[in-house]
Amino acid sequence: MTTQTWWGEHQFELEQTRRWHLAGLDLQLKRSAQEWHIESYRHPQQNEDEHTWSIEESIENFPESSVLRRYIFNQTHESIMILPALADRSVVIKPIDPLFIPANQSVTLFVSTPLWLKIAINKHEKPLLDIPVIRPTDTWFGSSPIRGEICYATKVFGRIDLGQLPIRAFRAVTPVQIDNHSSQTTPIERINIPTPLLPLYSATDGRLWTPTIAVELTNNGRIPKLRIEPHLHQQAGVATLQNAARVENQDHFNGLFEHFFD
């Protein structure tokens, strides 16, 4: 089953305008002979739970605070790509209810992180625009205000059954497999998902997926072992690559080990 999606390749005639309403982000694209006009307007109060969207052919006037960007070409191409992408910084997820994993237990949590939107002429070129659909809140992830990194924050339920996780257009699912090999119950207060290192896939049911992140907790308060699985979770089914990881360098990944849990 293929569901309609807000991303994909779109054909434009000369002087044609199309408009996207994406959960509090309005986007209007217009093609002229030599330039693309991309106008965007973000509603002052965006809600992370909002997931309605529509694409319209009509032209409406944007509020004064909208931003118009003009991209000048020798000659504009007739198609343009709208692509989903993961966040450009790590995303810290915080379970809404406190979560504990007792000793010698394993669990796979399905968590979701907010999506970005890229507009590009084709998949291989640098995007013209790269913005979050719903701007998440900034947060600090580190042991003190001196050491750590700037991330985005989002609240999640931390579902263990994928069926309970609703399909949401502007969030990507990341399975987090936690194996607690330590002798103590481990509280999961905040988890740092290294989204810039993850590729993004789309499944046939309309969900967007990233590969599984496997975490192994060992004894004596050692740094947890962390790896990104090369394959998608089996529940993702058949999936298509939408966007490669923003950062290819795996060295950066090693630096995140100590910062995975708060």
Partner 1 sequence: MAKTDSFLDQLINLPVSDKTEGFIIGGLLLAFGYLISHLVTTAFVRTMSQRLTAHQLLVWRRGIFYFLFLLFTISSLHEMGFKISVLLGAAGVFTVAIGFASQTSASNLISGLFLIGEGSFVVGDTIQVDNTIGEVLSVDLLSIKLRTADNIYVRIPNEQLIKSVVLNLTRFPIRRVPINVSISYKEDIRKVRGILLALAEKNVLVLDEPRAQVTVQNFGDSAISLAFNVWTRRENFLDIRDAMQESIKLAFDEHHVEMPFPQISFNTGEMSPITVKLQREQPPTA
What residues from 215 to 254 belong to the interface with partner 1 (CB under 8 A)? none
Q: Which of residues 89-148 bind partner 1 (CB under 8 A)?
A: 92, 94, 135-141, 145-146, 148
Note whether 172 and 112 are within 8 A (CB): yes
Binding residues for partner 1, how many (CB under 8 A)? 17
User: Residue 15 in contact with residue 218, Cβ under 8 Å?
Assistant: no
Q: For residues 105 and 239, what is the distance between their CA atoms, to the nearest angstrom? A: 29
Bridge-based pairing of strands 106-120 and 79-86 is antiparallel
Q: Across-strand partners of 92?
A: 153, 192
Q: Ramachandran region of residue 124, left (φ > 0), alpha (ψ -120 to 50) or beta?
A: alpha
Interface positions, 158-217, toward partner 1 (CB under 8 A): 190
- Least separation in angstroms between residue 148's CB and partner 1 is 8
Rounded Cα distance between 7 and 57, Å, is 16
* Per-residue mark of binding to partner 1, 22-61 (x: CB under 8 A): -----------------------x----------------
Instruction: Compute the least distance from the CB of residue 234 to partner 1, in Å.
Output: 33
Q: How far is the CB of 32 from partner 1 (least distance, A)?
A: 33
Q: Which residues bind partner 1 (CB under 8 A)?
A: 45, 92, 94, 135-141, 145-146, 148-150, 153, 190
